[in-house]
Amino acid sequence: MRNINKRDIKIFLMGMLVMFIIEVIFSWRNNVNAYKEGLNVSSNKNNEQTK
């Protein structure tokens, strides 16, 4: 069994970052819609609390 090097950790983290970027690109519309929905829900809660 070999030891884990810094290079192995860097490659793993870069792979995770690339997968995250690909996921964001391919589901961009869903991400934008979810962001807008969350923004609207939070602003509605703030408006109800200040009344």
Hey, where are the domains in the chain?
A: 6-50
- Predicted confidence pLDDT, tens digits, the chain (51 residues): 789 999 999 999 999 999 999 999 999 999 999 999 999 988 877 666 665
- How many CA atoms, within 13 angstroms, populate the side-chain half-sphere of residue 14? 6
Residue 5: both structure tokens together: 């090097």
pTM for this prediction: 0.62
